[in-house]
Amino acid sequence: MKSVFQRLAGDFFSTILFVVVWMATGSIAIATGVAIAGAIGQFIWAKQRGIQMTAISYASLALIILLGAATLFTGDSRFVLIKPSLAHFGIGAIMLKRGWMARYMPAKVMELAPDLPVIAGYWWAGLMFLTGAGVVATALTGDAKLWGAFVFIVAPAMKIVAFAAQYVLFRFLIGRRVAAAQAGAS
């Protein structure tokens, strides 16, 4: 679990840095400049340590530089604020692959209910697209506080609630299937 949080913190380092600096200074320009510098520094740090960079790593760096530069050039924070939505849309698109969730499921789930992870996978894709749309909608308001609340409070809360609901629903449905199989065997 610790490695998951470390990975997330690394993936969202420039966004977290942006929000912290923006909250401390009240300046989108300073926060954007620090986020760009942080992303470049993080990239150099990873390369020096021999950490393999994926296509997503390069794309993320390019996006923060391009969108950050657009923000600095135009003075419009909406460019840098939409960046997290691109990650949500990309992840949502990946989640449209049938059965992506199967590798994360216990063997018992796949044995008793192989259809549930497929259905849940599509629901998760929908949630990611919805979250991405929420990021865009809040970014387009130009209100960085509203955007920050959505990105750091609402979006994670939506995912936690979805995870908990999926867990409860899977337990219930698989329990029913086990009971039905035992009744049929009797």
Q: 69-123: per-residue pLDDT in tens?
A: 998 999 888 888 888 898 889 889 988 999 888 888 888 888 888 999 999 999 9
Q: Can you give the pLDDT at residue 75?
A: 87
pLDDT confidence of 10, banded at 50, 70, 90?
low
Q: Can you give the pLDDT at residue 128?
A: 95
Q: 161-184: per-residue pLDDT in tens?
A: 999 999 999 999 998 988 888 888
Instruction: Give the CA angle between residues 97, 101, 107 to the nearest 5°.
Output: 140
The model's pTM: 0.74
Q: 123-150: per-residue pLDDT in tens?
A: 999 999 999 999 999 999 978 789 889 9
Q: Can you give the pLDDT at residue 48?
A: 92
Which tops the pLDDT comparison, 54 or 1? Answer: 54
Helix axes 28-48, 13-25, angle to 10 degrees: 150
- Give the separation between CA 124 and CA 130, rounded to whole angstroms: 10
How confident is the prediction for the chain on average, in pLDDT?
87
Q: Can you give the pLDDT at residue 90?
A: 86
